[in-house]
Amino acid sequence: MNIESALTSVVGSSNVLTNDDAAPYLTDWRGYYHGSAHCVVRPSTTDQVAQIVKLCAEHRTAIVPQGGNTGLVGGATPDASGMAVVLLTTRLNQIRDLDLANNTVTVEAGCILESLQKYCKDHDRLFPLSLAAEGSCTIGGNLASNAGGSQVLRYGAIRDLTLGLEVVTSDGQIWKGLNGLRKNNTGYDLKSLFVGSEGTLGIITAATLKVFPMPRVRHTALVAVEGIEHCLALLERARAAFEANLTAFEVMADVCLRLVTEHFPDQHLPFHELSPHARWYVLLEIADSNIEDHVRTSFETMLGDAYGAAEIVNAVVANSIDQSRSMWHLRESITLAQAKSGKSIKHDIALPISRIPQFVDQMGQHLSKEFPGLTIMPFGHLGDGNLHYNVASSDDFNPEKLLQSQDEIYLAVHDTVHAYGGSISAEHGVGQLKRRELKRYKTSHELNMMQAIKSALDPLNILNPGKLL
């Protein structure tokens, strides 16, 4: 029996996709990676996933797990050989349990992030992971890449939110590691090993995650500042004033928001007038359980003090939920605006927060000198040191030049990040895009340990081969 027939016996013919039906799952979201596959299979239970893995092991067939297909590094796209099976998790979409007393939720890997957020909100709980793709990305994909998003500053990345996992291992066995324990020192922390492994060690089918009491008060402000060093000064001031109640601190170069308002004319910056000196914008948010008047007064006082210290040049505090959403919509539209503008070179980097201003200045000077006319569009999560340092073409630096210069630009940015003690991947993962670069920045000892773990857990190398390692 061939692999397609064997898989059909597990999930039914309507859930084994081939030819044109499979095509949407063979290209990544950016249109950067294109692959081929035996078929796309859509299980609806963990037992079906286990059976699929056993069949693929018997046939020595590679498995590429895929959720919402929103990744940016090609981690969920098969290679061009046509020999793999894409395992689509979107039918594994149930929320199995919400334990209000324990503040945990157990959810399947194919559940859309936004659906989980809404479910928790309806039960007066907050699931804090939030990112631009939340309307289509899945919990399994978030776990596979250790997604961070905009509230890492207070709540941590999804690894910090994970208490237990259910995983199908490469031999088709099910590790039932779901629990809601915050203390469990009984050996190796297996769940943390699978989180961030990009489907190369096992297929995550469900997770038990932390949730939190819903904040009673939220305040959002969009702030204009002169330079990135002023963003850092404002971050220090906001942390001192609000500590753990500071939930988000996003930075955006002015060119990013100009691009958003150009491509989405219904979106506007909320300032009556713009300062010609504003080169960066900060979107910050606090959440608290105190009464409204006290929190807003403290928030406005902090911003007033920052203005008096010449750390900011303008600020608007949202007066309604709709105005807050509009501010966040500006931030979340940056990636879409860049996509509308054409190809860009994306860097998902992490740096010590204290060194980000120096990196931005040094890198900007270097790229402007070596590639005159290049457009630099950095934005990201300053509060946790994660910067999306993207570069794009312009009238003076056309897309062909950008493509020709891509390898040099990647090398220049990543070498500088490494020299500053940073990481070339903060939350997007490694996938295919950065796999070869690991050899440049990881020691041989680190790579050998990673390969030993891969070999031990996936001796046949059928789980997402060619990704990460």
> Which residues is 207 bridged to in the sheet?
107, 165
In a domain, 457, yes or no: no
Same structural domain, 311 and 371: no
Are residues 123 and 236 in contact, defined by beta-carbon separation less than 8 angstroms?
no
Same structural domain, 121 and 166: yes
Q: Domain span at residue 239?
A: 217-335
The tens place of each residue's pLDDT in the chain, 469 residues long, gives 789 999 999 999 999 999 999 999 999 988 889 999 999 999 999 999 999 999 999 999 999 999 999 999 999 999 999 999 999 999 999 999 999 999 999 999 999 999 999 999 999 999 999 998 999 999 999 999 999 999 999 999 999 999 999 999 999 999 999 999 999 999 999 999 999 999 999 999 999 999 999 998 899 999 999 999 999 999 999 999 999 899 999 999 999 999 999 999 999 999 877 677 899 999 999 998 766 778 889 999 999 999 999 999 999 999 999 999 999 999 999 989 998 988 889 999 999 999 999 999 999 999 999 999 999 999 999 999 999 999 999 988 999 999 999 999 999 999 999 999 999 999 999 999 999 999 999 999 999 999 999 999 999 999 999 999 9
Same structural domain, 193 and 250: no
In a domain, 459, yes or no: no
CA distance 401 to 280: 27
CATH number of the domain at 285, please. 3.30.70.2190
CATH number of the domain at 161, please. 3.30.465.10
Same structural domain, 361 and 397: yes
Give me the pLDDT at residue 291, please.
67
Per DSSP, the residues of 292-361 read HHHHHHHHHHHHHHHHHTTS-SEEEE-SSHHHHHHHHHHHHTHHHHHHHH--EE--EEE--GGGHHHHHH
CATH number of the domain at 365, please. 3.30.70.2740
Same structural domain, 163 and 241: no
Alpha helices per DSSP H over 86-138: 113-122
Are residues 219 and 301 in contact, defined by beta-carbon separation less than 8 angstroms?
no
In a domain, 60, yes or no: yes
- Contacts with 143 (C-beta within 8 Å, 6 or more apart), sequence order: 109, 158, 162, 165, 194, 195, 196, 204, 207
Q: Is 453 helix (H, G, I), strand (E, B) or coil?
A: helix
In a domain, 442, yes or no: no
- Contacts with 78 (C-beta within 8 Å, 6 or more apart), sequence order: 26, 35, 36, 37, 62, 64, 84, 86
- Find tokens 């990135």 and name the residue: 228
CA distance 87 to 105: 24
- What's 397's DSSP letter? B
Number of domains composing the chain: 4
In a domain, 58, yes or no: yes
In a domain, 103, yes or no: yes
Same structural domain, 368 and 326: no
* Domain end residue (candidates: 335, 350, 383): 335
Give me the pLDDT at residue 10, please.
97
Same structural domain, 62 and 47: yes
Are residues 32 and 80 in contact, defined by beta-carbon separation less than 8 angstroms?
no
- Contacts with 26 (C-beta within 8 Å, 6 or more apart), sequence order: 34, 35, 36, 37, 77, 78, 86
* Domain end residue (candidates: 28, 62, 88): 88
Q: Is 149 helix (H, G, I), strand (E, B) or coil?
A: coil
In a domain, 317, yes or no: yes
Same structural domain, 185 and 107: yes
Same structural domain, 107 and 155: yes
Encoded tokens for 110: 């194919």
Same structural domain, 66 and 131: no
* Domain end residue (candidates: 280, 310, 335): 335
Same structural domain, 209 and 222: no
How far CA 460 is from CA of 32, 35, 100, in Å, comes to 28, 21, 41
Same structural domain, 233 and 254: yes
In a domain, 427, yes or no: no
